[in-house]
Structure 1
């Protein structure tokens, strides 16, 4: 009797899960499953970060990155799971649900709801054709008009589907809209030199931090304005120790001359070194940077030659 009772409980639990939105989280309706009318309908861009079958009031967040152009088409994908695809044409209605953005915004990482003046959605009704698994909604975003000091986001929700089960965990998501200017990306440290001083004119000696920067870890240039990038992951000689005291170091590019102005929000003394090159070469996508800080106390001098190797995630 105990064996029969346990078997009955297991079958009942499976049945409950079968007809609820825990399908994806429990890996029942994956692409090697049958799908059909019991398949899961989900926002396809969201990463699988949820705990299996556990309801939650928070939402999965994903970043959509794109160039800071006048208007950019940002795709939002909806999936219909199962190896056989949709059993017939499936109509899906998407909607904006910005309560999710408010929920996910924190003091440490504040999110700003993308204003309606910065985007349009030509059509929020999608059709997944019979036998297919995906459909895409396009959001037209006016990225060149972004305030780069803000982190914009949209909450998007599957409002209805004519077939399948709308996922409880992946039916709503927060989409961070990350516009990137043309200089944004990952850069190799081709060459460079750092020199630390204990006083004006007195080079630190001995020093384990002075020396060549060639071969140091890649540097990220991250969009903070239409023509400005933050220089992230700078290291001393040897690459193991991060440069401190110059938080939010930024390079602003003159789009006419390609000359660069250096500054740091975390240290007002950081500036271009007089007489040395600070420029961007668009032909090779290479930055040459020469700057210093703490010029009248314990100076630090930095030279960096950075070459673009690819986009940031």
Structure 2
């Protein structure tokens, strides 16, 4: 009986300690990622949500408040949590180019004309850098911006890149020592992964089947871009949402525009999430005519 009473009071004491030191390091997400849990000899700082953070939006024209990322101070003790510390995040826009090269992407630096910083704890420093200020008692701060949707180019994808350059005496988590990337893009409801089936009609060589996966990428509020048939290049599919008719636009070359097929329409079927397309382009031996159905996976 005495043992049970002792265990009961021990449990209450542990719960009380956890509440009292909720800002101190116990078993945080960043600890689990970095494998540094319960290293009570150090206080850490890092990005608890990882080094690549995506922000995709439906088309919008107003001002949207976005928590871009968080930075967390993982204090070893209540005393360390009461320190006043400012961590510097260095902006490294050149890292975006390197990311594009390594990942075959086309991100651009998010222009400052598209957003304003609204956070009071993570604020603008010099040369595009950020200052993450931890006041006594602070253990997690957010970099928050107001993003202007009316200025967003829907055909582009944007990014910001930072690295912790001054940890203010804290130890950077192992998983937070590299570059932090945050990505921004508008995705309309047609954006996504599809599969295309159909026929490419060649006036000399005859018909051939189209059977391939395609990626449709936002090109406007109701428009997406993808490859032309099975020949590559790029075409834009614009949906008239009042009629579900689709306008196919683009060029195979400067003298070979994509044109409609007489007597046939291109439409979008919202029930099956499919683009049912009929289009052609001129060539020396006659028009190449393409019939394809591009269905969402």
Range of TM-score over shorter length: 0.5 to 0.7
* Cα distance in structure 2, aligned partners of 1:76 and 1:228: 30
Aligned to 2:234: 248
Q: Does 1:306 align with 2:294?
A: yes
> Which structure shows the higher helix fraction?
2
Q: Is the 8 A contact 2:155 2:218 kept in 1?
A: no
* Cα distance in structure 2, aligned partners of 1:284 and 1:127: 51
SS in 2 for 1:33: coil
* Distance verdict in 2 for CA 1:159–1:261, change over 3 Å: same
Give runs of ≥4 in structure 1 deviating > 4 Å: 44-47, 85-98, 106-111, 125-132, 157-163
Q: Is the 8 A contact 1:96 1:154 kept in 2?
A: no
Matched ranges for 1:72-87 at <5 A: 72=64, 73-78=66-71, 87=77
* Cα distance in structure 2, aligned partners of 1:149 and 1:269: 21
- 1:224 maps to which of 219, 224, 227: 219
Q: Is the 8 A contact 1:43 1:170 kept in 2?
A: no
Aligned to 1:195: 200
Q: TM-score, normalised by structure 1?
A: 0.60
> Which structure shows the higher strand fraction?
2
* Distance verdict in 2 for CA 1:101–1:162, change over 3 Å: closer
For structure 1, the 5+ residue unaligned runs are: 1-26, 48-60, 236-242
Aligned to 1:122: 118
Matched ranges for 1:69-218 at <5 A: 69-70=60-61, 71-72=63-64, 73-78=66-71, 87-88=77-78, 89=81, 97-98=90-91, 100-105=92-97, 112-123=108-119, 124=122, 136-158=142-164, 164-166=170-172, 170=177, 172-189=179-196, 192-199=197-204, 204=206, 210-211=208-209, 213=210, 216-218=211-213
1:29-57 residue CA offsets vs partner (Å, 9 max, x unmatched): 8246324463542234555xxxxxxxxxx
Aligned to 1:65: 56
1:247 to partner: Cα distance:
0.5
SS in 1 for 2:113: helix
1:229-271 residue CA offsets vs partner (Å, 9 max, x unmatched): 1114x77xxxxxxx22x40122122344332111234434222
Query: Which deviates more, 152-161 or 64-73?
Result: 152-161
* Distance verdict in 2 for CA 1:152–1:260, change over 3 Å: same
Question: Aligned residue pairs: how many?
Answer: 244
SS in 2 for 1:104: helix
1:218 to partner: Cα distance:
3.1
Q: Does 1:292 align with 2:280?
A: yes
Structure exhibiting the larger radius of gyration computed from Cα positions: 2
Cα RMSD (Å) = 4.1
1:264-312 residue CA offsets vs partner (Å, 9 max, x unmatched): 3443422232322312234543322222223553543322223334xxx
For structure 2, the 5+ residue unaligned runs are: 1-30, 123-131
